Structure 1
Amino acid sequence: MFGKLKAIKGDEITIKLDDELNIYRLQKFAATKQPTIELQLDDGRQISPDQRKKIFAMLRDMAMYTGYDIRDMEQWMKYFYYAKTGAESFSMSDCSMDQANKFLTFILDFCFENGIPFKTKTWDAIPDTYPKAVQCLRHRQCVICGKLHSDIDHFTPVGRGSRKLVDHRKLYFECLCREHHTERHQMGAKSFIEKYHIRPIKLSEDDLIVLHIMTRKRMDEIDEGMI
């Protein structure tokens, strides 16, 4: 369980949990005895409770999607991470904040690349420092809800002419499912991004080519001043 410290009075503290506590499940784990609770405070050096919470939320979604037990999922992802990065073995209980952030980023990249869906609550908890907008465009996932096979939308209007003649390197994009794409056109771009707090982005030349938005030949023609 994770939560935020609300008040301290002598040797008593008040904590607001992030999720509702299932007292029957708690009693079962405690074998009907008075439960013992361990309190860990974020001191800014080791992995923070928020980082740990997000990592386990991602692992839980992955376990449910693949059918693995969450503990097996954690170990499998760690071994894969060690093999890919050459990192030393670490524990989720006391690793550094930097290590936790790298592992979280690795898990997120893995989920995007393998089409593993996130629950809405997990999707909303993806750190602001993670390039979610770019990954959504690369893997055709809605930046609002995470739905797969979504549309690549031009935030910048391209006019009624042929899109093949447009230099898309100068334009901004966002990836939206049909539902949110329709809402965006109904609301207007400005109101839509203000509602969902998203930031359309430019795509790299490589991404434009991979997504079949532009060709290298067309880029060269534009750069050479050819029509």
Structure 2
Amino acid sequence: MFGKLKAIKGDQITIQLDDELNMYRLKRFADSKQPTVELAIADGRQISPDQRKKIFAMLRDMAGFTGYDVRDMEQWMKYFYYAKTGTETFSMSDCSVDTANKFLTFILDFCFDNGIPFKTKTWDSIPDTYPKAMQCLRHRQCIICGKLHSDIDHFTPVGNRSRQLVDHRKLYFECLCREHHQERHVLGAKSFIEKYHIKPVKLSEQDLIDLHIMTRKRMNEIDEEMI
């Protein structure tokens, strides 16, 4: 369980839990005895409760999708992470903030690359420092809700020009499902990004090619025309 410390009075503390507490489950884990609670305060040097919460939220989503137990999923992801990075083993209870951030990014990349869907609550909690907009475009997932097979949308208007004649390297993009794509047209681009706090991005030349938005031949033709 995770929560926020609200008040301290003598040797008593008040904590507001992020989720409702299942007393039946708590008593079962405590073997019907008085439960013992451990309080860990983030000091800025070790993994924070918020980081740990986000990582386990994603592991639960992955476990639900693959059929693995959450703890087994954690061990599998750590194994893949160790193999890819060569880093030393670490514990989710006391690893450094930097290690937690790197492992969190690794899990996010893994989910995007393998098409593992996020639940809405997990999707909304993805850190702002993670390049979600770019990953959504590369994997065609809606930046708002995470729905797969979404549309690559021009934030910069193309107008009536043929898309084959446009230099897409100069334009900004976002990935939207049909529902949010329609909402963007109803609200207008400016109001839409203000509502959802998203930031359209430019795509690299390789991403434009991989997503079949432009060809290398067309890029070279445009560059030659400008000489």
TM-score normalized by the length of structure 2: 0.98
User: Aligned equivalents of 2:133 and 2:209: distance in 1?
Assistant: 17
- 1:54-203 to 2 correspondences below 5 Å: 54-203=54-203
Write out per-residue CA displacement over residues 33-75 of structure 1, whole angstroms, 9 at most, x where no aligned residue: 1110000000000111110000000000000000000010000
Q: State the 1:153 CA deviation.
A: 0.3
User: Aligned equivalents of 2:105 and 2:117: distance in 1?
Assistant: 16
User: Aligned equivalents of 1:24 and 1:147: distance in 2?
Assistant: 35
The sequence identity of aligned pairs, in percent, is 85
User: Aligned equivalents of 2:91 and 2:196: distance in 1?
Assistant: 36
What letter is aligned with 2:124?
A: D
Write out per-residue CA displacement over residues 55-100 of structure 1, whole angstroms, 9 at most, x where no aligned residue: 0000000000000000100000000100011111111011110000
What letter is aligned with 1:205?
A: E
Q: State the 1:130 CA deviation.
A: 0.2
User: Aligned equivalents of 2:226 and 2:17: distance in 1?
Assistant: 62
User: Aligned equivalents of 2:177 and 2:119: distance in 1?
Assistant: 16
Cα RMSD, aligned residues only = 1.0
Q: Which residue of 1 aligns with 2:34?
A: 34
- 1:15-54 to 2 correspondences below 5 Å: 15-54=15-54
Write out per-residue CA displacement over residues 129-162 of structure 1, whole angstroms, 9 at most, x where no aligned residue: 0000000000000000000000000000001121
Structure 2: gaps (5+ residues): none
Q: State the 1:226 CA deviation.
A: 6.3
User: Aligned equivalents of 1:72 and 1:144: distance in 2?
Assistant: 30
What letter is aligned with 1:84?
A: K
SS where residue 25 of structure 1 aligns?
helix
